[in-house]
Amino acid sequence: MAPPEHILIGFSIAHVFYAMQKILHKKYFYYPVLLFMAGLSAIIPDIDSFFGNYASRNVYTGHRGITHSILFVFLISLTITLIMCAFATISMRLVKKSPVFEGKAKFMSLFLLLFVCGLSHLMADLPQPPGVWGGIPIFFPYKIDGSFVRTGGWSKIGWYDYKIMWSFIFIATATAFIVALLPIIEKYKVNIAKKIIAVVIILINLGINIWLFHHISNSQYVNAAYWERIQYEYLMHSNPLIKMTTLKGRAYFVKLFKSVK
């Protein structure tokens, strides 16, 4: 999937975590911080896009290499968690307040969020074409006959999917609107209403991910030309604003990527 889809899936996971905080009466993370950390973790495996060789299967120097493994996601999630905990603890001590990440529960909650979002990136890449890499080395450093085992490359969806992207944009927008209602509910201390809204947030975001699984299961990638036609047909039947935004956004993203690459 392209970066927007990965980030939006991360947002969906973040919304579930945020709703769980409300149900459990926890205040581990502020909403914007939660979205930022989830989006970052969901896209970080693609960091090799900027240094990896797109024509190489080498897990160290090629694209979709070591960064697309459970081991990498685990280590980067743990590293970010430790850095965040250390930074927050030092900052709070300087102002003589209790450390923000004091306690194992907060530490584990942050790590779990990062790990699940990072893992979502790997899961979303599995149904895509094998490319020159033959899938991703999700179980790195596992080898068979001296070669790193690659998984995926199922050719169910292409490298991008406008329907997935816009479906998750709509859900993220709707969820953000619902989240904005929570402070009003909390102000009047209507706990049952707060829990109901939190459950609704969870159900909406679990629902979109169930739809995602169904959509991928019923898709089929034949070749690049076929997939481009499918995406074009989706845009032709979409709102003109969606069509214009998508095409302009795609052109800008390609230009930005080439300049950075």
Q: What is the per-residue pLDDT for 202?
A: 96
> pLDDT tens digits for 51-104?
878 888 889 988 899 999 999 999 999 999 988 888 777 766 666 655 555 567
Contact indicator for 27, 59 with CB cutoff of 8 Å: no
Give the pLDDT band of residue 167 (cuts 50, 70, 90): very high
Q: What is the per-residue pLDDT for 125?
A: 95
Contact indicator for 132, 126 with CB cutoff of 8 Å: no
3-state secondary structure 228-247: HHHHHHHHHCCCHHHHHHHH
Q: What is the per-residue pLDDT for 96?
A: 60
- Report DSSP state, residue 45: G
What span, in angstroms and rounded, lies between the C-alpha atoms of 169 and 175? 10
Contact indicator for 221, 158 with CB cutoff of 8 Å: yes
As a whole number, mean pLDDT of residues 112-125 equals: 96
> pLDDT tens digits for 207-226?
999 999 999 999 999 999 99
Strand partners, 31: none
Among 169, 66, 46, 53, smallest CA distance to 118 is for 46
Give the pLDDT band of residue 29 (cuts 50, 70, 90): confident
- Report DSSP state, residue 147: E
- Percentage of the residues of the chain whose pLDDT score is greater than 70: 93
What span, in angstroms and rounded, lies between the C-alpha atoms of 147 and 114? 29
Residue-averaged pLDDT of the chain:
89
Q: What is the per-residue pLDDT for 52?
A: 77
Interacting residues of 215 by C-beta distance below 8 A, sequence separation 6+: 163, 164
Q: Is the pLDDT of residue 188 over 80?
A: no
Q: What is the per-residue pLDDT for 90?
A: 75
What span, in angstroms and rounded, lies between the C-alpha atoms of 109 and 98? 18
What span, in angstroms and rounded, lies between the C-alpha atoms of 213 and 234? 19
Cα dihedral sign for 90, 92, 97, 103? negative
Q: What is the per-residue pLDDT for 97?
A: 58
CA separation, residue 62 to residues 51, 235, 257 (Å): 8, 33, 17
> pLDDT tens digits for 33-49?
899 999 999 999 999 88
Q: What is the per-residue pLDDT for 154?
A: 95
> pLDDT tens digits for 229-248?
999 999 999 999 999 999 88
Contact indicator for 242, 235 with CB cutoff of 8 Å: yes
Q: Is the pLDDT of residue 141 over 60?
A: yes
